Amino acid sequence: MLAAGQYPVLGRFNLATPDPNAPDPTVRVRGIGVQISAPDGNVWRMALIDPPVFAVSTPQGFYDLLNASASKNPEAMKSFVAAHPEFAAFGEWATKAPWTASYAEVAFNSLNAFIFKDGSGAEHAVRWSLRPQTQAAPMTAEDFAKLGANHLEQDVTERVARSPQRWTLVLTVADPSDPISDPTKAWPPGRRTVEAGTLVVQKIEPEADGPCRDINFDPTILPDGIKVSDDPFPAARSAAYAKSYDLRTSEASSYPRTGASAKP
Ligand code: HEM
Q: Whose CA is nearest to atom 29 of ligand 1?
A: 48
23 with 195: CB under 8 angstroms?
Answer: no
Ligand 1 binding pocket, CB closer than 6 Å:
12, 14, 31-33, 47-49, 54, 59, 62, 110-112, 183, 216-217, 233, 236-237, 240-241, 244-245, 248
> Strand, helix or coil at 129?
strand
Pocket test for ligand 1, best of 86, 237, 248 (most atoms within 8 A of CB): 237
User: Environment class of residue 124 by beta-carbon count within 10 Å: exposed (0-12), middle (13-18) or buried (19+)?
Assistant: middle
CATH architecture under which domain 9-262 falls:
Beta Barrel (2.40)
Domain ranges of the chain: 9-262
- Average of pLDDT values for 147-172? 98
User: How much is the pTM?
Assistant: 0.94
Chain centre to alpha carbon of residue 201: 16
Write down the pLDDT at residue 130. Answer: 98
Q: What is the mean pLDDT of residues 39-43?
A: 97
- Spatial contact of 75 and 127, defined as CB atoms under 8 Å apart: no
Question: Which tens digit of pLDDT belongs to each residue from 186-211?
Answer: 999 999 999 999 999 999 999 888 99
Which pLDDT score, from 0 to 100, does residue 262 have?
Answer: 53
Residue 261 pLDDT more than 70? no
Question: What was the pLDDT predicted at 208?
Answer: 85
- CA dist 109 and 48 (Å) reads 5
The pLDDT assigned to 18 comes to 85
**Ligand 1: distance of its center to the CA of 102 in Å?**
20
Alpha carbon of 164 to ligand 1 centroid (Å):
26
Query: Has residue 257 got a pLDDT over 80?
Result: no
pLDDT digits (tens, 9 = 90+) for 91-103: 999 999 999 999 9
